[in-house]
């Protein structure tokens, strides 16, 4: 699924990222526990989380995941958005809850 489709389905906005129509995700993993993400995510996974800390960017960077969807209407701090931008990670945000 392209990230543009994720935007449409979730009503999300793009906080950081470009060319969403070229980025493909094959799986989604929803968790606020980065240890679970580290243990169980696979390549091509969209991380769905309510966390807005730099650790989410670092975790996704380490696993080479393409994007993060921040849920529950959480506002992404500027330092986290800047880190996502410099690492090339797409950052989306939605008001939806994690499990709809």
Model pLDDT for residues 32-44, shown as the tens digit of each residue = 999 999 999 999 9
99 within a domain of the structure (yes/no): no
Separation between Cα atoms, residue 100 and residue 12, nearest integer Å: 14
Residue percentage of the chain with pLDDT more than 70: 100
Residue 55 falls within a domain, yes or no? yes
Return all residues near 16 (Cβ < 8 A) that are at least 6 apart. Answer: 81, 84, 85, 89, 90, 91
**What are the distances in angstroms from CA 52 to CA 1, 2, 26, 48, 78?**
24, 23, 23, 11, 10
pLDDT of the residue at 72: 97
Q: Give a yes or no: residue 98 inside a domain.
A: no
Whether the full predicted model's pTM is greater than 0.75, yes or no, is: yes
CATH at residue 66: 3.40.1390.20
Q: What is the pLDDT of residue 94?
A: 98
The answer to whether residue 50 sits within a structural domain is: yes
For residue 100, being part of any structural domain is answered with: no
Q: Which domain holds residue 69?
A: 3-93
Q: Evaluate whether residue 37 is within a structural domain.
A: yes
Quote the pLDDT of residue 99. Answer: 87
Summarize pLDDT for 63-95 with one digit per residue, the tens. Answer: 999 999 999 999 999 999 999 999 999 999 999
pLDDT of residue 69: 98
């Amino acid at each position: 699924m392209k990230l543009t489709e994720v935007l449409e389905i979730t009503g999300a906005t793009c906080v950081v990222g470009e060319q969403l129509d070229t980025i493909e995700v094959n799986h989604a993993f929803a968790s606020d526990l980065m240890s679970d993400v580290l243990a169980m995510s696979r390549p091509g996974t969209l991380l769905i989380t309510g966390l807005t800390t730099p650790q989410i960017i670092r975790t996704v960077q380490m696993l080479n995941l393409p994007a993060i969807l921040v849920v529950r209407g959480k506002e992404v701090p500027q330092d986290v958005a800047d880190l996502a931008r410099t690492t090339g990670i797409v950052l989306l945000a939605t008001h939806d809850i994690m499990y709809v």
